[in-house]
Amino acid sequence: MSMSTLHNAMNQVVNYAKGRRITFIWHGGEPLLLDLKFYQEVAEVSRTLRDRGHSIRNAIQTNGTLVTDALLDFITKERDFRLGLSLDGPEVVNDFSRPKADGSGSFKQILQTITAIREREARAQDVSIGSGVICIIGRHNIKHLDALYDFFKSHQINFKVNPLVMAGRATCSLAVTPMEYGEAMCRLFDLWIDDPNTIRIDPFQEIMTSLISGTPSSCNFSDSCAKTFVSIGPLGDIYPCGRFDGMSEFRLGNVNDPDGLKMALSSPEHAKLGSRGKFLSGGGGSCSGCQYLPICNGGCMHIAHISGDVMGKDPFCAMYKSLYGHISKKLHAALAKAENIQ
Amino acid sequence: MEETLILGHAISIDKIENIKIRHAVLRSIKSCSSCVFSDNPGHTDHSDTCDAHSDNHTDHTDNSDYHCGTYD
């Protein structure tokens, strides 16, 4: 992304958001292929926007292999940047699914990054850089959930689980079926929920909160992420979500055009995606009458798209229902117990 | 501690033994009762709520701040 596209992107987002809180998530590919000067410019623009009264935060989602001391110095000083990493479990598992270009594993570097982040946070005490990870569940690790949980627990690493799905030019065969994923998630939940260890695992913590509050808790379940997220690619192209990046049929505009974002987000194409939840929940819609509709809203529209229909429900539907039911039983049991010891 | 109705159960939150479930209950009720963003008319989506929580919870174990999680 060029500096001019960076400026146009941040300024147009801020102008469109009209005072709402904004988090810029710098994603890839691998966002740290861009050198530190890029993020120093991001910080400078953020400062300028903040001085004008806007609420801005930044986050970088990285594979963790290119985090340098200079970057950590910068993040420690700036304070408004957070790091999220990717790690698929113990060394043998992670290095199978996340090899580097030369075939060597990335595990050791990721662990070194986590250690370096924690050392910085311990030294600076009031600085929170973040060392939570996204862990992808696929054929490479679905049979090793106990080892996976023990690994994250022993390293006190909070993690969020996502299923591996086939998308774009992917040709690998590591994707798991919704049923396999659902069974794995219930198993992982059982390992975690009664363990006194307090590492956080999502989506479990999010789902529990959703079941209690009756509101969705992550973008996958938010009716349409088109309402709260927008993705801007390296050339300034606008998409409803990063997962659609590069799909010409979902390109909504370009931030290098005057008012590009405003026009993109008021386009009929964007409005259609924004109405997906209403479409699914309406009379005759696939989700009409579902008890979990308020917290699921038909699931992720990208996963729905790669299954054939972006306006259809997420094909993980049966898996979500199974997991919601499993977690709900546990919640009710714990609440009933609390009720009886008044 | 006063009783709160959670999923049909009238409970004192401090009686919930499981810390992760207690955390979820605290997060849930705070989104309505004491979230600093709750008076924002446009604030009806989960992601803002989640951000608000991350910044304003100091009374329990929430020390994480994940990204949206749809990407990898």
Distances in Å between the Cα of A224 and the Cα atoms of A66, A212, A275, A286 are 33, 21, 7, 15
| Vertex A102: Cα angle to A96 and A104 (nearest 5) | 40
B48 and A20 within 8 Å at the Cβ level: the answer is yes
Strand partners for A62: A85
Q: Is residue A333 part of a domain?
A: yes
Q: Is residue A234 part of a domain?
A: no
Final residue before a domain boundary, out of A197, A221, A245: A221
Residues A174 and A297 reside in one and the same domain = no
> Rounded CA gap, A253 and B24, in Å?
39
Length, in residues, of chain B: 72
Counted domains in chain A: 2
Strand partners for A163: A137
CB-CB contact of A188 with A161 (8 Å): yes
Give tens-digit pLDDT for A8-39: 999 999 999 888 888 899 988 899 999 999 99
Q: Is residue A312 part of a domain?
A: yes
> Rounded CA gap, A64 and A60, in Å?
10
Give the domain extent around A323: 276-342
pLDDT for B12 equals: 87
Residues A186 and A312 reside in one and the same domain = no
Give tens-digit pLDDT for B12-62: 888 888 988 988 888 777 543 344 333 333 333 333 333 333 333 322 223
Residues A197 and A290 reside in one and the same domain = no
Final residue before a domain boundary, out of A189, A204, A221: A221
**How far does the CA of residue B17 sit from the closest CA of chain A (Å)?**
7
Q: Is residue A38 part of a domain?
A: yes
Residues A98 and A201 reside in one and the same domain = yes
**A41 contacts: CB under 8 Å, gap ≥ 6:** A3, A6
> Rounded CA gap, A126 and A4, in Å?
33
B21 and A332 within 8 Å at the Cβ level: the answer is no
A160 and B62 within 8 Å at the Cβ level: the answer is no
Give tens-digit pLDDT for A159-204: 999 998 877 777 778 889 999 999 999 999 999 999 988 888 988 9
Distances in Å between the Cα of B42 and the Cα atoms of A21, A202, A224, A235 are 11, 26, 15, 31
B46 and A219 within 8 Å at the Cβ level: the answer is yes
Q: Is residue A252 part of a domain?
A: no
Find the largest Cα–Cα distance for chain B: 43
Q: Is the pLDDT of residue A277 over 50?
A: yes
| Residues on B contacting A at a C-beta cutoff of 8 Å | 3, 6-7, 9-13, 15-21, 23-25, 27-29, 31-32, 37, 42, 45-52, 61-72
Residues A27 and A149 reside in one and the same domain = yes
Which class for A101: exposed (0-12), middle (13-18), buried (19 or more C-beta within 10 A)?
exposed
Distances in Å between the Cα of A305 and the Cα atoms of A103, A145, A310, A323, B69 are 32, 29, 4, 22, 18
- Order across the sheet with A56-62: list the strands: A22-26, A56-62, A81-86, A133-137, A159-163, A201-202
Residues A161 and A300 reside in one and the same domain = no
In the block, tokens 């890029």 appear at A38
Final residue before a domain boundary, out of A221, A244, A268: A221
Residues A110 and A16 reside in one and the same domain = yes
B46 and A218 within 8 Å at the Cβ level: the answer is yes
Nearest CB partner across the interface for A228, out of B28, B47, B71: B47
Over chain A, what is the mean pLDDT? 91
In this structure, what token pair is assigned to residue A93?
A: 């598992």
Could you tell me how many CB contacts below 8 A there are between chain A and chain B? Answer: 158
Residues A217 and A92 reside in one and the same domain = yes
Average pLDDT (A319-340) is: 94
Nearest CB partner across the interface for A130, out of B25, B61, B65: B65
Radius of gyration of chain A from Cα atoms?
21
- Cα A243 → chain centroid: 11
Name which of A298, A294, A296, A318 is nearest A309 in CA terms.
Answer: A298
Q: Is residue A239 part of a domain?
A: no
Q: Is residue A7 part of a domain?
A: yes
Nearest CB partner across the interface for A200, out of B64, B67, B68: B64
Residues A165 and A295 reside in one and the same domain = no
**Looking at beta carbons, which residues of chain A come within 8 Å of B27?**
205, 209, 213
Mean pLDDT is lowest, of A80-84, A102-106, A149-153, B62-66, for B62-66
Using a pLDDT cut of 70, give the percent of chain A over it: 99
CB-CB contact of A203 with A161 (8 Å): yes
B72 and A241 within 8 Å at the Cβ level: the answer is no
**A47 contacts: CB under 8 Å, gap ≥ 6:** none
Give tens-digit pLDDT for A59-80: 898 999 999 999 999 999 998 8
Q: Is residue A154 part of a domain?
A: yes
